[in-house]
Amino acid sequence: MSKRWFGKGIGIFSSMALLGLVVTGCGTSGASTTSNNSSASQTKTGGTITIDEIDDFAHLDPALAYDDGDWEVVPQFYDQLVTYKPGTSTIVPDVATDYTVSSDGLTYTFHLHKGVKFWNGDTLTAQSFIDEFQRVLSKKVNSPGEGFLDPAVKGAHAYYEGTAKTISGITAPDPYTLVIQLTQPEAFFPKVLAMPFFSAVDQKFIDQVGNEKFDHDPMGTGPWEMKSYEQGNQMVLVKNPNYFKPGEPKLDEIDIDINKNEDLAGLNFKSGKTAFIGWNQNIDSQTYISLKNDPKYKNQFQSQPLVATYYLALNTKPNSPIQNKLVRQAIEMAVDKQKLVQLQNGRAEVANQILPPAMPGYEKTLPSDVDYQYSPAKAKQLLAQAGYPNGFKVSMLTPNDSTSIQLMTSIQADLKQIGIDVTLDPRSSTEYLQGTESLKYPLVYTAWFQDFPDPYDFLDILLNGDEIPNNNWSNYNNPTVDKELAEAKVMPDGAARYALYDKIQNQVLADAPWVPLYTPVLYAVVQPNIKGFYMGPVLEDPLQNLSLSN
């Protein structure tokens, strides 16, 4: 279903921009610093701002958009049935005015706003969503969102395989009512629907221009229209004057410059040319220090721990000493995670579990037996107990960027102290992905970023035996855990479901197929005259809410 670090996906940041963003700063800690741009200063309607974007947009077709950069603008062009309450992981209606869920959790009924128009004047109806569901399930479109519907939605697999002309589980009893039937309950299904894949689209327009052109020529209902787009250079957004949400957007225009040079991005901000440095542009180290020491900007920073975990996948397959649980526990205790945070100048938080702190279900207090503490002496004892008093040699797969190598060199030194001689094997993107799925490496350095905020998206996707080798790169296969994951997936949301996920996570931690390392912390800095900017755990920069002060 989901994708990883090297590939397309919100969970990946394939250009490694995020890793650079986390690493290059010289911050203090991961604690959030709220800027004063939400103060009661007088704001005005209209105006133009400019921002820098570190990479060009891979896709503007919502059925294909799965890169972090894409998710900066695609949700501004299109609307979904539901979205997130600003700055939270709470689902609220978007184009849907409301929705209901049947008592068995299988049927969702959405009632839509009437009178919502695409930019060209065509009317949004329930069919606009059905068209997009069909596009996501079309082999011709080849959407990475297909696995979020198939087999979850009734009839999705038959449509995907071409044995049915419609998706039997998606119907529109009238133009402004959409009914979706699932094959089994999924408490997180509304969060799936909040992903850009499942936006309302104008199929008439797509048929006119074709799928290929549609990928660079959007036609949505969202708050921002695309006025122009020079690939690799600039995209210009203009206000949708007919947007159905009163008061959005507040600005008239946003100019997005494609700028891979983070030093130049810093200069652009300091000169006042750009409005903020947010999700998709680095605050380089020198700029960070300079701005922190500048009275104009020192209080203009915000931070957000990302819903992500960087970790070592420890291959439990019986092809090395790593198959021994005591060895894996020894590695967990041998890694100085605080040093990894220091190497990133404080823009990270130590991780002690699979779920990151901003994820629903995160355990604030772990059981003591799985709350591993840094202790080289204890690690040596465990190695001896496992039958390796003199250690052993082992290889580690890592991305070949300088930051990954720096961090893994630190871990290499940590493991050397307890007798484990690690050979680093840095690989480029394609070779790295091939290496992970080959399951031949005892150690793999990798990361996972949420698709949506639910424990399923980490525990089930990464540690279910059925996910070997696609996402489960530790080759972890515990039948009891798999059974409990299946139970948790279909349970109603609530305390009992999270308690079961706690049990699952604690069992996984006891088996130690992972060494959770750290959670990155994203920093943003905003010009004093920009109002309405906020950071949250799910959505990116709130372009529709920004305004200029008088």
* Predicted local distance difference test score (pLDDT) of residue 231: 95
Q: Does a structural domain hold residue 249?
A: no
Q: Is the pLDDT of residue 9 over 60?
A: no
* Predicted local distance difference test score (pLDDT) of residue 17: 36
Q: Quick: pLDDT tens for 196-218.
A: 999 999 999 999 999 999 999 99
Does residue 522 contact residue 22 with C-beta atoms inside 8 Å?
A: yes
283: pLDDT confidence band, cut at 50, 70 and 90? confident
Q: Which of 303, 277, 341 is nearest to 516 (CA)?
A: 341
DSSP-derived 3-state class of residue 206: helix
* Predicted local distance difference test score (pLDDT) of residue 286: 82
Q: Does a structural domain hold residue 11?
A: no
List strands edge to edge, sheet with 530-531: 43-44, 547-549, 530-531
Mean pLDDT of 148-160: 98
Q: Quick: pLDDT tens for 486-504.
A: 999 999 999 999 999 999 9
Does residue 525 contact residue 297 with C-beta atoms inside 8 Å?
A: yes
Structure tokens belonging to residue 251: 């600005």
Question: What total of structural domains would you count in the chain?
Answer: 2
Q: Quick: pLDDT tens for 97-133.
A: 999 999 999 999 999 999 999 999 999 999 999 999 9
Q: Model's pTM, two decimal places?
A: 0.90
Does residue 497 contact residue 488 with C-beta atoms inside 8 Å?
A: yes
Of the listed ranges 6-20, 289-303, 409-423, the one predicted with least confidence: 6-20
Q: Does a structural domain hold residue 51?
A: no
| 199 shares its domain with 343 | no
pLDDT-above-70 percentage for the chain: 92
Query: What region, left, alpha or beta, does residue 426 occupy, with left being phi > 0 and alpha being psi -120 to 50 degrees?
Result: beta
Q: Is the pLDDT of residue 3 over 60?
A: no
* Predicted local distance difference test score (pLDDT) of residue 41: 54
* Predicted local distance difference test score (pLDDT) of residue 204: 98
Q: Which of 252, 347, 263, 274 is nearest to 525 (CA)?
A: 274
DSSP state of 153: B
Q: Does a structural domain hold residue 141?
A: yes
Domain boundary among 192, 211, 230: 211
Q: Write out the residue range of the structural domain in which residue 150 sits.
A: 62-211
| 177 shares its domain with 324 | no
Q: Which residues of 306-320 are buried (b: 16+ CB within 10 A; e: fewer)?
A: bbbbbbbbbbbbeeb
Q: Which of 550, 535, 26 is nearest to 266 (CA)?
A: 26
Does residue 449 contact residue 461 with C-beta atoms inside 8 Å?
A: no
Q: Which residues of 109-145 are buried (b: 16+ CB within 10 A; e: fewer)?
A: bbbbbeebebbeeeebbbebbbbbbbbbbbeebebbb
Domain boundary among 174, 193, 211: 211
Q: Is the pLDDT of residue 8 over 90?
A: no
Domain boundary among 211, 240, 260: 211
- Compute the distance between CA of residue 85 and CA of residue 94 in angstroms, rounded to an integer: 10
Q: Quick: pLDDT tens for 33-52.
A: 344 444 445 677 899 999 99
Q: Is the pLDDT of residue 31 over 60?
A: no
- Compute the distance between CA of residue 442 and CA of residue 319 in angstroms, rounded to an integer: 8
Beta bridge partners of 111: 98, 177
| 322 shares its domain with 457 | yes
